[in-house]
Structure 1
Amino acid sequence: MDENRTTGRTSDDTDALITLLDLADTLPGAGELRARSYELLAIAPDAAVVDVGCGPGRAAAEMAERGARAVGIDPDERMIAVAGGRWPAADFRVASAYRLPFTDGALHGYRAEKVYHVLDDPARAIGEARRVLAPGGRIVLIGQDWDTFVIDADDAALTRTIVHARADLVPAPRVVRRCRNLLLDAGFADITVEARTMIFTDAAMVPVLADLAEGARAAGTISDAQAGAWVAEQRERGRCGRLFLALPLFVTAATRR
């Protein structure tokens, strides 16, 4: 099993993440959310834009299809290889959110979806975004607050414990609450925040819920038996159409002065 040199993930870890991201890209409302982010970027023909933490590359490819000179960047070499294989007409590069491969003021648009929660220094990434954006350039950040998974379950207290324990494993689980202020601190203007709540009621989201429970179990917050019983309940809810998960996503946009 080869270790990814830039992220510390194994190739198996990356494959599992790709599977999860592919699922997220095809969920009801995901396409509309991506389209809204492109509108907020105000993409014009031949505009230079970057998708930071591009994953398997769908958003970068879609922006390129809209006429932008889009570049997808990700620190995971295998992720970039997969993106390039899927979307050979698009431009994908291995790079960090802290050190983008562009000169000062080179870009018209900067997009990052479900990325900032994994960064240990989101303010530094915002500063790098400001550096590469031209005056008047647009930034759009999409993310979830990891403390606000809304899940129907028989044991509400256990569910709260699972959600918060899993959130505590994320480097910046509540960064979406800070994005507006981070952009203000960096001198951005015209800042807007939109909320989109995605609601799921079938078995497609059981793997996501199982991941929450496994994170809490691995952290020692809940027992093996508690995790197993909670996931079994969610699996049964999914099987009979009784699952309920609401996931608020926040879209923060701004203009580089």
Structure 2
Amino acid sequence: MSKNQEAVAEHRDTQALLAVLDAADQMPSAARLRARSYELLSLVPGSTVVDVGCGAGRAVAELAERGVHAVGVDPDPRMLAAARERWSAAEFREAGADDLPFADGSVRGYRADKVFHVLREPGRAVAEARRVLAPGGSIVLVGQDWDAIMIDSDDAELTRTIVHARADLLGTPRAGRQYRSLLLDGGFDDVTVEVHTSVFTGSAMLPLLTRLAEPACASGAVSRDQAEEWLAEQRRRAEDDRLLIALPFFVAAASATGRP
């Protein structure tokens, strides 16, 4: 594949991911979940809050509307380009979760939504969060447990195989259930954990199912025929208003009461 072909493929993949994220973000349950994460941050007007793994930047814009200096951080320049195009007044920086562009103790709030499951070493990201947070600062982690995705299907065994095969390709697919221990091990105090289950029944979430089945097929966990048959069933369910996907989202919050 030429470099130009690779660039086109990467662009298409970014656009496909943005479509999935946009569809999910526009659901009322997702808006409520974001609002809950902002509430748990205990926002202080004028203070700096970083949204790590900000993607297309929706949360950064919403945080700025609440009177804080919100900064979006993401390692993907394509995502940042989309964020800057959508939210031209917001601030975005290119960086990873384990190497944030902030001085020690300079941030009042830290938020990471659907980020830790892609990290190989989430403990390093927690340590970095601890470094940049000021005493009294708040951290909020939001994300799904990829082993716990529930999808209605006529073939429960095949569905389990696809879900677990896709999960196993991620850095830390069960990060959500590990949030509490990660924060405690990282020296945070007053750790709390909530679980909010989002239910999706519309065809807008079909791209998510494709992003489950295709990698499972590529990994060899299921055959091409099995993947196509499963996706065809899900498309029929969507047409008949019988599609159902349930995602439990973990929301963990904690405070940095002292210096690391």
TM-score by length of 2: 0.94
Counterpart of 1:30 in structure 2: which amino acid? A
Secondary structure of the structure 2 residue equivalent to 1:92: strand
Task: Note the 1:108-257 alignment, pairs <5 A.
Answer: 108-257=108-257
In the TM superposition, residue 13 of structure 1 has moved relative to its aligned partner by: 2.4
Q: Which has the higher helix share?
A: 2
**Structure 2 CA distance for aligned equivalents of residues 231 and 253 of structure 1:** 36
**Structure 1 CA distance for aligned equivalents of residues 205 and 5 of structure 2:** 29
Secondary structure of the structure 2 residue equivalent to 1:104: coil
For the pair 1:56 / 2:56, whether they are aligned, the reply is yes
Greater displacement, 23-32 / 232-241: 23-32
In the TM superposition, residue 3 of structure 1 has moved relative to its aligned partner by: 6.4
TM-score by length of 1: 0.95
Counterpart of 1:62 in structure 2: which amino acid? E
**Structure 2 CA distance for aligned equivalents of residues 77 and 208 of structure 1:** 22
**Equivalent residue for 1:12?**
12
Unaligned stretches of 5+ residues in structure 1 = none
Are 1:199 and 1:245, in contact at CA under 8 Å, matched by a contact in 2? yes
Unaligned stretches of 5+ residues in structure 2 = none
Identity value in percent: 60
Judging changes above 3 Å, is the alpha-carbon distance between structure 1 residues 92 and 117 closer, same or farther for their aligned structure 2 residues? same
**Equivalent residue for 1:43?**
43
Counterpart of 1:118 in structure 2: which amino acid? V
Judging changes above 3 Å, is the alpha-carbon distance between structure 1 residues 105 and 191 closer, same or farther for their aligned structure 2 residues? same
Counterpart of 1:13 in structure 2: which amino acid? D
**Structure 2 CA distance for aligned equivalents of residues 242 and 19 of structure 1:** 22
**Equivalent residue for 2:68?**
68
Q: Cα RMSD between the aligned structures?
A: 1.4
Secondary structure of the structure 2 residue equivalent to 1:169: coil
In the TM superposition, residue 12 of structure 1 has moved relative to its aligned partner by: 2.8
Moved over 3 A (4+): 1-4
**Structure 2 CA distance for aligned equivalents of residues 255 and 174 of structure 1:** 23
**Structure 1 CA distance for aligned equivalents of residues 201 and 126 of structure 2:** 35
Counterpart of 1:79 in structure 2: which amino acid? M
